[in-house]
Amino acid sequence: MKIKTLALIGCLLAPIAGRASWFPNSPLQPTLDALLAAHPQRAWQELLLAVGQSNIDSLHWQPIKNEIMAQTSCGQELMSNPPHLPATLSLAIISRSGLSSLGYQIKFSAEQASLMQNFTLYNPQGKQLLEGKLLPNSGYQEWETDDLLAKPQAGLYQLEIGTNRYPLLIADNDTENWLARKGTRNPQLITHLPETVTHCSPPALSWQWFDQGYNQIGLKRPIDLKKVTQSKTDTETNTLIPSPPSNKASYLSASASIFEYQSGVKIEYIHRVAIPFSAKP
């Protein structure tokens, strides 16, 4: 990491600075000091503390979070205390745009649970969002919220499993703009994909088919960006809508996703957009 990078991040903190210094005197100064000293794990703890205790706009802390992710193999080195998780855990923040509406959802999933334990997910205000019970030897398990009209707030969430708590810093990644549909009779897919954080995987794009009951048909199909043309406005347009895999297909959606790790938990950000098509009789 270069000092120049931290200096640029420090400039973002000017609106919340109390006085001029190498880094502005703000709640985020200990985080930046730890990064400058090449201690990303300590910087992460300082960042969690700052966001949890102070009302800081995500505009200020998200670039710092990305820099920490870049220095910790996309968060895989940010282990929890206690380090052992009772299962392979994932938390997905999902946005969906339909033909005329935009909605949100949060999904929590677990695989290979080793113990029977209760879990609860809390938002930054301490409101309970999800609760359930991890069951051992049950394979894949998932829980999801009802459709949310408002975007999940950026900030410090808490995942409580048994007697342990795992802080999860959820960002505002502007997922609603990643994918958009243009036209209805001959729809095109427009993408505005986020910049890939160093040492994280690039955004993954895929098609998904569903039947009349919204049950997924077959596997996801990757969207081949080689078949996407680049426009003058730096957006990408895919004009090739795939053929349905079955005559039971009634709905098609495109999705884009990125992921990172925090405390061993996989954090996913996903956007899905409905693509109209005419089903063949």
Domains in the chain, start-ordered, CATH in brackets? 3-71 (no CATH), 108-170 (2.60.40), 175-275 (2.60.40)
Q: Is the pLDDT of residue 134 over 80?
A: yes
pLDDT value at residue 52: 96
Per-residue pLDDT tens digits for 155-186 = 999 999 999 999 999 999 999 999 988 776 77
pLDDT value at residue 5: 54
Q: Is the pLDDT of residue 129 over 60?
A: yes
Per-residue pLDDT tens digits for 190-236 = 888 899 999 999 999 999 998 888 888 888 888 876 555 544 444 55
Q: List the structure tokens of 204.
A: 């993954």
Q: Is the pLDDT of residue 61 over 50?
A: yes
Q: How many residues does this entry show for the chain?
A: 281
User: Which amino acid appears at position 260 of this protein?
Assistant: E
Beta bridge partners of 255: 206, 272
Q: List the structure tokens of 198.
A: 């160093």
DSSP string of 95-136?
Answer: EEE-SS-EEEEEEEEEES--S-EEEEEE-TTS-EEEEEEE-T
Long-range pairs, 75-82, Cβ under 8 A, ≥24: 75/260, 75/261, 75/262, 75/267, 76/261, 77/40, 77/41, 78/41, 78/44, 78/261, 78/262, 78/263, 79/263, 79/264, 80/164, 80/166, 80/263, 80/264, 82/164
Burial of 61-100, coded b for 16+ CB within 10 Å and e otherwise, reads: bbbbbbbbbbbbebbeebbbeeeebbbebbbbbbbbbeee
Which of 24-33, 65-74, 133-142 reaches the highest mean pLDDT? Answer: 65-74
pLDDT value at residue 278: 65
The alpha-helical segments, DSSP class H, found in 141-192 are none
Average pLDDT, the chain: 85
For residues 108 and 4, the model is more confident at: 108
pLDDT value at residue 91: 98
pLDDT value at residue 248: 87
Phi, psi angle pair for 224, to nearest 5°? -80, 105
25-39, 45-59, 108-122, 177-191: the lowest-pLDDT one: 177-191
Helix, strand, or coil (residue 158) = strand
Q: Is the pLDDT of residue 21 over 60?
A: no
Nearest to 258 by CA among 210, 206, 209, 203: 203
Q: List the structure tokens of 94.
A: 């999902």
Query: Is the CA virtual torsion 154, 152, 195, 204 positive or negative?
Result: positive
Say how far apart CA 10 and CA 226 lie, in whole Å.
Answer: 38
Say how far apart CA 167 and CA 45 lie, in whole Å.
Answer: 10
For residues 195 and 5, the model is more confident at: 195
Which of 20-24, 210-214, 269-273 reaches the highest mean pLDDT? Answer: 269-273
Say how far apart CA 70 and CA 68 lie, in whole Å.
Answer: 5
Nearest to 61 by CA among 188, 154, 145: 154
